[in-house]
Amino acid sequence: MDELIPEDEPCEQCGLCCRMFGPNITPTVPNVYVWMEQGRTDILRCFIACMEKSGPINCADLKPEDLGNVVSVEMRNPDTGDYVAVCPFLRRVTKERYLCGIHLVKPDMCCTYQPWIWGETYFNRCRGLGKINQSGKWQL
Ligand code: SF4
Ligand code: SF4
């Protein structure tokens, strides 16, 4: 979802994709590095890094030299370490409109999520995809 929507942007900011898939997003190591550089502990603490040579580490405790051993990054509740039911960065701004609270530095996976583009992640409940289908303009 984008905060600033260009006129031809199909996303209607309904938030459904974030509500359904948000807890399973897997940021890249470069995403984590950017958050480290920017001191975004508020974001880092919501993820754990699964390491090649040790057990999982909360991303807020990672050092830049650890990044080469990161196998994957997963979202967790920073207080309990449990899986989360909803992405903690999702913000409801009206009854039917949601925004991403970390839009400018959100994970690559969220930036490239465009169900209305042929060959990209298919999500038939996406309103943006529905809009494109109705107009007969499936984006290639
Ligand atoms: S489901 Fe589609 S329209 Fe709704 S927020 Fe996600 S991308 Fe946008
Ligand atoms: S980080 Fe932002 S765009 Fe990604 S799932 Fe969470 S609320 Fe949605």
Atom of ligand 2 nearest to the CA of 21: 5
Which pTM value belongs to this model? 0.88
Whose CA is closest to atom 6 on ligand 1? 17
Co-location of 94 and 78 in the same domain: no
CA of 36 to the centre of ligand 2 (A): 18
Q: How confident is the model at residue 130 (pLDDT cuts 50, 70, 90)?
A: confident
More confident residue, 88 or 3: 88
Q: Does the C-beta of 87 come closer than 6 Å to ligand 1?
A: no
Query: For residues 34 and 40, what is the distance between their CA atoms, to the nearest angstrom?
Result: 8
Co-location of 77 and 65 in the same domain: yes
For range 63-83, the mean pLDDT: 96
Our count of domains for the chain comes to: 2
Co-location of 31 and 2 in the same domain: no
Kindly report the average pLDDT of the chain as a whole number: 90
**pLDDT exceeds cutoff 60 at 5:** no
pLDDT (0 to 100) of residue 69:
97
pLDDT (0 to 100) of residue 123:
87
Task: Give residue-wise pLDDT tens across range 43-52.
Answer: 999 999 999 9
Q: Does the C-beta of 127 come closer than 6 Å to ligand 1?
A: yes
Q: How confident is the model at residue 10 (pLDDT cuts 50, 70, 90)?
A: confident
Which residue, 83, 106, 123, sits at the end of a domain? 83
For range 7-30, the mean pLDDT: 91
Strand partners, 58: 48
Question: Which residues, in sequence order, are CB contacts of 83 under 8 Å at separation 6+?
Answer: 23, 75, 76, 77
Atom of ligand 1 nearest to the CA of 129: 2
Which residue, 46, 61, 83, sits at the end of a domain? 83
Task: Give residue-wise pLDDT tens across range 79-121.
Answer: 999 999 999 999 999 999 999 999 999 999 999 998 887 766 7
Question: Minimal CA–CA distance to 108: which of 51, 13, 21, 25?
Answer: 25
Which residue, 57, 83, 109, sits at the end of a domain? 83
Whose CA is closest to atom 4 on ligand 2? 110
Q: Contact at 8 Å (CB) between 53 and 69?
A: yes
Domain that holds residue 67: 26-83
Atom of ligand 2 nearest to the CA of 91: 7
Co-location of 50 and 97 in the same domain: no
